[in-house]
Amino acid sequence: MNSTDVTKGFTEQFGKQAEHTFFAPGRINLIGEHTDYNGGHVFPCAISLGTYAAVGANEDNAFRLYSANFPKVGIIDIPFPDLFQEKRGLWTDYFQGMARVMKTAGINYTHGLNVYINGNLPDGAGLSSSASLEMLVGTILNNLFDGGFAPLDLVKFGVKVENDYIGVNSGIMDQFAIEMGRANQATLLDTNTMKYEYLPVEMGDNVIVIMNTNKRRELADSKYNERRSECEKALAMLQKGIDVKSLGQLTEDEFDENTYLIYDPILIKRARHAVFENQRTLTAAQALQKGDLTTFGKLVSASGVSLAFDYEVTGVELDTLVTNALKQRGVLGARMTGAGFGGCAIAIVNSADVEDFISNVGKAYTEKIGYDAHFYVADIADGAKQLN
């Protein structure tokens, strides 16, 4: 899929030529999972799969929206006076949410837009299709209406849409990785301070393989919000005895020495993952900088174990992919990526072994689960941008 596809689709739907095209990537997180809302570090990168849009002006004072990913929905009109009405339970809620947040922040919509959208991110796969759409919309509106918002403003707008409008208590990582991504680099982000640095992802003879369980993951309906609440409870208990603002501020030893303040087996496990995962992320980034891919791979796998047993966000589908991936020749590490409860996992695989890897893991998955997984070799891409 490319920009030509959406310009053709635009003409078919709206009967005129598109004026501009845009793209926003999806993202994978190399390591640092469920740390973003716990004040820790994350290490994501944007990928070449993503969401495209073709756009043209209209004189209707409305956003007229069509997605090739939801063709049965057809064209949805959102007149400007309706921007602040309730969500409709459609994909257009993400567009409407971004448009209303940006309107509140001061942008002036001087004319309507026809927008044709098509993405090749598997929906509900944990590659952040919703954040990709949010950053795509933010880039369209900011560029075409001279919004003047900085990239980090758009990131924060996207998080506000998720939290306050869609109803998912997500952190900042997805929107940040998608808006701020750079080709062949990952972003080490301290979500507590918003300080970040780009680090080259040099995998040598290895590639990153994305493994899609093909089990849909509905964040708003999952245990995602429950996990966040559990971490908040654990933090509140710790704060009765020590001065700490987030779990991400603690070292492993500081956490171990103060678990008596929590004294609850479930909450200790949840908080332990947040603390230890943060430290793993920092160590993994250092290993990658040094070109120590063996250590990096081991830390990626250790992250997966913690997500399965301390945070309990995997399930049989993800576990089947990861455990079989780790048995294959040429694999340095594997783990689930994203929120969990379905979605995707990643593996670092020697290029020469990728074909056998996909065949062997795919066969084992189908035999165990009863339907196929899908596999993609990830190219690390730039963030959201206007194409023309």
Q: Identify the structural domains of the chain with CATH numbers, from first to last.
A: 3-198+382-386 (3.30.230.10)
Helix axes 293-309, 265-289, angle to 10 degrees: 170
Q: Is 367 annotated as a binding residue?
A: no
**Helices assigned H by DSSP within the chain:** 3-14, 92-104, 129-144, 151-160, 173-180, 224-238, 252-257, 265-289, 293-309, 316-325, 354-369
pLDDT of residue 220: 43
Residue 180 bridge partners (DSSP)? none
Q: Is 371 annotated as a binding residue?
A: no
Q: Is 124 annotated as a binding residue?
A: yes
Q: Which of 112, 140, 343, 125 is nearest to 149 (CA)?
A: 140
d(CA 136, CA 144): 12
DSSP annotation of 87: P
Query: Which ranges of the chain have pLDDT less than 70?
Result: 217-222
Q: Is 125 annotated as a binding residue?
A: yes
Q: Is 162 annotated as a binding residue?
A: yes
- Residue where the block lists tokens 């779990």: 247
Q: Is 200 strand, coil or helix?
A: strand
pLDDT of residue 97: 97
Token pair in block for residue 298: 């081991």
Q: Is 388 strand, coil or helix?
A: coil
Q: Which of 116, 104, 113, 176 is nearest to 145 (CA)?
A: 113
> What sign results for the dihedral spanned by CA atoms 193, 38, 34, 70?
negative
Q: Is 130 annotated as a binding residue?
A: yes
Contact (Cβ atoms closer than 8 angstroms) between residue 195 and residue 151: no
The residues that are catalytic are 174
Q: Is 224 annotated as a binding residue?
A: yes
